[in-house]
Structure 1
Amino acid sequence: MAGGGQTLRWPRILGGGPVRWFCKLFSRSTILWGGYNLVRVFLGLLLLTAAGLKAHQLLSDPPNGPGLLESRWFMIAVVAFEGSLGLWLLAGVWARVSWAVALGCFGLFACVSVYKGLAGETSCGCFGRVETSPWLTAGIGMLAVIALWVLRPGEKAAAGKLFRTAAGLATAVLCVSLVALGIRGLWIMAATAVQQEDAGLATVGPAGPEACPADCLRFAVRLARAELGLEVGAENTEPELADASKALTALLYDAAGAGGKVEPVPLERLLEEPMDGAVPPVLLVHRTGHLEVLVGAVRTEVGVYYQVLHGEAGVRLASAQDLRHGGFSKAWRIAGAGVGVPVRVGQTEVRLDKIYHNFGELAAEQEAECVFSVANSGTRPVVMDAPTSSCGCVVASPAE
Structure 2
Amino acid sequence: MRELEHIYLAYETAKSNKLNCVLATVVHVEGSSYRRAGARMLVDELGQMTGAISGGCLEGDALKKSLHALHQNRNKLITYDTSDESDAIVGAQLGCNGIIQILFEPIDYNNPENPVELLKEVLQNNNNSVLVSLFNLQKNQVQIGTSLLFNIGGKTLGDGRSTEFLQKIKSDAKFAHSAHKSCFRTYRSKKGELQAFFQFVPQPIHLVIVGAGNDAQILASMADSLGWNISVIDGRATHANKERFLGSCQVVVTEPEKALEALDINDNTVFVLMTHNYKYDLAILELLLLRESLLYIGILGPKKKYKRMLEDMAEKGIHPSAEQKNRIYAPIGLDLNSETPAEIALSILSEIQKVLCDSSADHLRDKLNRIHVDEPSEFQLVQLENQ
The normalised TM-score by structure 1 is 0.22
Q: More helix by proportion, 1 or 2?
A: 1
The normalised TM-score by structure 2 is 0.23
Q: More strand by proportion, 1 or 2?
A: 2
